Amino acid sequence: MSTQDLLARIGQSGEETEFYTPMPPGYRKGHHKYVVVVGTVMSGLGKGIFSSSLAKLMQDKGLKVAPIKMEGYYNVDSGTLNPFRHGEVFVLDDGMETDMDLGTYERLLDQDLSAANFTTNGQIMTSVLKKEREGSYLGRDVQAIPHVTGEIKLRLRELAVKSDADVVFVEVGGTVGDYETMHYLEACRQLAFEEGEGSVAFVALTYVLEPNALGEQKSKAAQLGIKRLMEVGIMPHLIACRATREVGEKVREKVAMYTNVPLRRVVSMHDMSSIYLIPDALRDGGIDREVLTLLDLHARVDQRNEDRARVRWQRFVDRVGKANRSVTVAVTGKYVTLRDAYASIIKATEHCGLHLGIDVQLRWLDTTEIDEDNVADRLADVQGIIVPGGFGIRGTEGKIECIRHARENKIPYLGLCLGFQMAVIEYARNVCNVPDAHSTEFEPGCPSAVIDILPEQKKIEGLGGNMRLGGKDVELKPGTLAAKLYDNARMVRLRFRHRYEVDPKYIKLLEDHGMIFSGKHPTQPIMQVLELPQSVHPYFVGTQAHPELTSRPLRPQPLFLGFVKAAVECAARQQGGGTPAAALAARKAEPQPV
């Protein structure tokens, strides 16, 4: 009896077997292919960037791709992780709080992902134990093999069915040899065995050292790292060598000889000026063709689709490093010592800069060090101010001072989530004459809680005491700046991650003093976008949402794009060319959109 015949009998005859491979309904063996990307030597090599770049090349060829990130920690999601430890929390449209690598996939693939594209040890173990309690294992003692590995394989196959993917890209978090991810590697090994030859391609991302004292590249650490992968039964088909400089041919030859991987499949993945150059670098190295050959996918390629996609992407990457103007934008938060905490903000401003031919330089300012006395000096010579999201009282008064400075000096302002709430507090204190205005998040008993959790709001959309997460519809007020930025749309979709809202009893007071709530919940008194009239301020916008999460290279996020344009006009005013005619000329001189 063949292995496949035996697998087909599982769950039918009731006989005990060591194979545990649950198959989701609709799964088409042989149609769905897999590329598994693992890291060796050390973490932080850029597996997500490599995997998403390779997935983009397959997508350009007309293939359906679906990425999944498998994390080794036992948290069920990334929502409670400290940004200092793990970077930003990236929220998907369905509300799943994930690792920041999911943002890389969404941006490069221009694709909204879901909870099916992210899993953790916590999710896997929760599912296994739930099935054990329900009697799903028919009296078997539940073990890592076959039950935990079986659950992992089921997740991969369910994603393949849900997305109808030609290729599922599997990124295994951490580094080969980590205890917490060994069962992921074992599951992928079993997957390759069960799916058969030509169905699973393994990619090892490794690191080639170049010690300053030696002045040459050394491959021994890379060789030993890949050996760890081979020791668990996985023979890589492709090897990507990360390095500071391009990896020389002799080093690649050593790696190829040591791993039995053909030299043409050992490629250099050295540092580049922009991650958006990596897809073309992989294509030039022929890696996309090697994957097609390994997985027998040449017949599914749509050449015309690839040609069109390459032209669009080339127009975009041709702008990298070509800016002839620059603006300085201050990002005023409390995690500024770790840039990964604001990764999506960095990318959103980068997209806008490339779109407009502008170099957007970010100035990172810790708001715990900003007060009324030094705010002007700290924000001198900036053309825009962003106050990002965050939790906790630390640094909030500094953020309020930054917002006041932006409002009073007509510096373009963009408030995100907490930046929206702080803008409401600042306006209530300094314009609406409510000096004790605050948020119950920071001062539970404050007498003028303009920001609060309201009992009636807790019932909306099943919020309970938890955060409002994921994509939500936002109704825009006609004629406002926000509506114009979205091409006069009446309804847009934004992603949220917050608990506190503007207390409706203060809305009229704020509006009577000039604040415009240009975006709100379609049916409830939940304010989601605010602005000041352009007759009062050139660009003062705040949103309860996180628009940075939906910015894409070829489609810059509208609120960010409007903000960067306003910063360019602010720079023109600061340089003495601040007439309306000069501002109009500057807009006309902007490069055409890609």
Tell me which of 417, 432, 441, 570 is the catalytic residue. Answer: 417
Tell me which of 97, 106, 501, 548 is the catalytic residue. Answer: 548
The tokens for 491 are: 């309804």
Phi-psi region at 471: left, alpha or beta (left = phi > 0; alpha = psi -120 to 50): beta
Tell me which of 158, 546, 569, 570 is the catalytic residue. Answer: 546
The tokens for 156 are: 């991969």
143 contact partners, CB below 8 Å, separation of at least 6: none
Cis peptide before 435 (omega within 30 of 0): no
298 is catalytic: no
The tokens for 203 are: 């990619």
Burial 101-132 (b: 16+ CB within 10 A, else e): bbbbbbbbbebebbbbbbbbbebbeebbeebe
Place of tokens 């609120």: 559
Would you call 46 helix, strand, or coil by DSSP? coil
Beta carbons of 282 and 53 less than 8 angstroms apart: yes
CA–CA distance, 377 with 402 (Å, rounded to integer) = 11
Q: What is the 3-class SS of 519-530, one letter each residue?
A: EECCCCCCEEEE
Place of tokens 């992603």: 495
Residues in the chain: 594
546 is catalytic: yes
CA–CA distance, 284 with 298 (Å, rounded to integer) = 17
Instruction: Provide the pairing of β-strand 468-476 with 491-498.
Output: antiparallel
Beta carbons of 36 and 195 less than 8 angstroms apart: no
Nearest to 522 by CA among 494, 547, 550, 485: 494
417 is catalytic: yes
Q: What is the set of active-site residues?
A: 417, 546, 548
